Amino acid sequence: MPKYKLEYIWLDGYTPVPNLRGKTKIVSEAPNSVEDCPMWGFDGSSTQQAEGSSSDCMLKPVSLYPDAARDNGFLVMCEVMMPDGTTPHPSNHRATILDDEEAWFGLEQEYFLFQNKRPLGWPKDGYPDPQGEYYTGVGYANVGDLAREIVEQHLELCLEAGINHEGINAEVAKGQWEFQIFAKGSKKCADDIWIARYLLMRLCEGYKVDVEWHCKPFLGDWNGSGMHCNFSTKFMREVGGKDYFLKLMDAFDKNKEEHIAAYGPDNHLRLTGLHETQSIDKFSWGIADRGASIRVPHSFVNNDYKGYLEDRRPNSQGDPYQICSRVLKTVAEVPTA
């Protein structure tokens, strides 16, 4: 009889960004769904989630994925709960996301692959050629010799896990990459992003490569990394309209500081008004405008202001739970009648 390996994965209590943590539970029967995965516990005093004198925190499984890298393996995304098992821990931002099966998110995760504190493919000293041919580029001069192997394997692992990748591409800076994940349901896309991050970091261990999630690893004329948040609700897709859209944009303007607070650390280094960004203290929207805070796709306008919008401010290091939570909170402030 085979044994099954369930990797319980959660977010620790570090700020401003949590770290991924994981440990393996061995069970005798394969889970068919997340309901088959029991609650578990861990030592919260080692993850900045509890005092040593009362250190237990609970892991509540919320999402289950096959793990193609391990025989009989599964990945179990968990929420962290207080010892009573029912109260969300203060570090549990997933629990703050409004439940809405009809909310859809598409997150575009950008990141750098680093080796010895330098992006893959960069010379040991100094800088590579200026940006220009790296974006969606091909060839050793543009992507180096190792990055694509990692990126391809990561894509395969994510697809085998059932994550709904929509695409991958080499990005504007050398050593910078992107994957896009789309999912229906207010929490699913954020779960999938965390699992995809986990799979990438674990894969890179064997290559002595680190994933640099920071939004601006290099100052100067090098693109930073974002995590554009494309979002829609049932109302936005099916009713919408210009009046509603303008009210929605007013709400986003009014809450701009709350949004920036949820969109990842050090964003002032990235949201400068250059490199296809709006500056951090301004809110703007624009049709097909990559220099706006919110880009309105042509399709949205052509479809009587129905469809999805792209908030370009969230950064690569942001917690997708906090990002999706904030977006839906602001959307919920705008009356639909």
Q: Which residues bind ligand ADP (CB under 6 A)?
A: 104-106, 108, 166, 180, 182, 228, 230-232, 237, 307-308, 310
Which one of Mn ion, ligand ADP, none interacts with residue 325, CB within 5 to 8 A by kind? none
Residues 196, 163 contacting (CB under 8 angstroms) = yes
Q: Is residue 228 a contact point for Mn ion (CB under 5 A)? A: yes
Report in angstroms how near the CB of residue 220 gets to ligand ADP at its nearest. 23
Nearer to ligand ADP, 115 or 232 (CB): 232
Neighbour-count burial of 160, counting CB atoms closer than 10 A to its CB (0-12 exposed, 13-18 middle, 19+ buried): middle
Which one of Mn ion, ligand ADP, none interacts with residue 89, CB within 5 to 8 A by kind? none
Site map (CB under 5 A) of Mn ion, residues 91-130, x = contact:
-----------------x----------------------
Distance between CA 316 and CA 117 in Å, rounded? 18
Distance between CA 210 and CA 201 in Å, rounded? 7
Picking from 104, 52, 56, the residue whose alpha carbon sits closest to that of residue 80 is 56
Count other C-beta atoms under 10 Å from residue 31's C-beta. 16
Nearer to ligand ADP, 230 or 278 (CB): 230
The helix or strand, by DSSP H or E, that contains position 219, with its residue range, turns out to be none
Distance between CA 292 and CA 278 in Å, rounded? 5
Report in angstroms how near the CB of residue 95 gets to Mn ion at its nearest. 28
Q: Kind of pairing, strands 210-212 and 104-115?
A: antiparallel
- H helix intervals, 140-241: 140-143, 147-160, 188-205, 234-238
Residue entry with tokens 């770290």: 19
Distance between CA 220 and CA 129 in Å, rounded? 13
Chain residue at closest Cβ approach to Mn ion: 228
Report in angstroms how near the CB of residue 172 gets to Mn ion at its nearest. 7
Distance between CA 320 and CA 192 in Å, rounded? 10
Find the part of the chain contacting Mn ion (CB under 5 A) among 44-52, 156-164, 223-231, 255-263: 223-231
Residues 292, 309 contacting (CB under 8 angstroms) = no
Which whole-number Å values give the CA distances from 25 to 33, 56, 174, 276, in the listed order? 16, 17, 39, 44
Nearer to ligand ADP, 108 or 319 (CB): 108
| Residues near Mn ion (CB under 5 A), total | 3
Name the DSSP class of 50: S
Distance between CA 143 and CA 122 in Å, rounded? 9
Which one of ligand ADP, Mn ion, none interacts with residue 321, CB within 5 to 8 A by kind? none
Report in angstroms how near the CB of residue 66 gets to Mn ion at its nearest. 26
Report in angstroms how near the CB of residue 68 gets to ligand ADP at its nearest. 23
Nearer to ligand ADP, 114 or 308 (CB): 308
Report in angstroms how near the CB of residue 250 gets to ligand ADP at its nearest. 21
Nearer to Mn ion, 8 or 111 (CB): 111
Nearer to Mn ion, 108 or 191 (CB): 108
Report in angstroms how near the CB of residue 193 gets to Mn ion at its nearest. 14
Q: Is residue 178 a contact point for Mn ion (CB under 5 A)? A: yes
Residue numbers of the site for Mn ion (CB under 5 A)?
108, 178, 228
